[in-house]
Amino acid sequence: MKRLPLACLLLCLAACDRAPKPAPSIPYAKQGVRFTVTPVPGDCARATVEWNVPESMSPRLEIQVDAKTRQVFARSNEHEGKQSTGAWVRPRMAFYLVDRDSGDVLAASRVGNSCVRAEQKIAGPQPAPTP
């Protein structure tokens, strides 16, 4: 009888640590889903993430970042929303809109790589221009 609680705990921990499902491609969006990642004008190390999923889909959503670690950036219980990032966005960083109940990827997008300012912010302070 003492082993039953331990077995339940191990089963719960295993279920919580499921591997994220891959996106078919990037960019990707299921039918009717809108998902955008837009750099903040003048500050490419920050972005605004916006989503809109049909009413027929679950509103229990999660936004994950980075193709390898898929860390949770934000969660929502709304079909439509917007969330601003901190100053940690990198060129080509992947963002995923995920159904929290099924783990299915509803949409995926990458930040563009043409923004020089983001690379400068990541590299550290830049020297002042010489007159």
Give 75-94 pLDDT, tens digit per residue.
Answer: 999 999 999 999 999 988 99
In a domain, 106, yes or no: yes
In a domain, 8, yes or no: no
Q: What does pLDDT average to over the chain?
A: 79
pLDDT of 9: 39
In a domain, 7, yes or no: no
Q: Which of 29-33, 39-43, 117-121 has the lowest mean pLDDT?
A: 117-121
Please return the burial class of 55, using the count of CB atoms within 10 Å of its CB with bins 0-12, 13-18 and 19+.
Answer: exposed
> Between 74 and 120, whose confidence is greater?
74
Q: Which of 20-34, 70-84, 109-123 has the lowest mean pLDDT?
A: 109-123
Determine the structural domain holding residue 58 and report its residue range: 26-121
CATH of residue 32's domain is 2.60.40.2840
State how many domains the chain has: 1
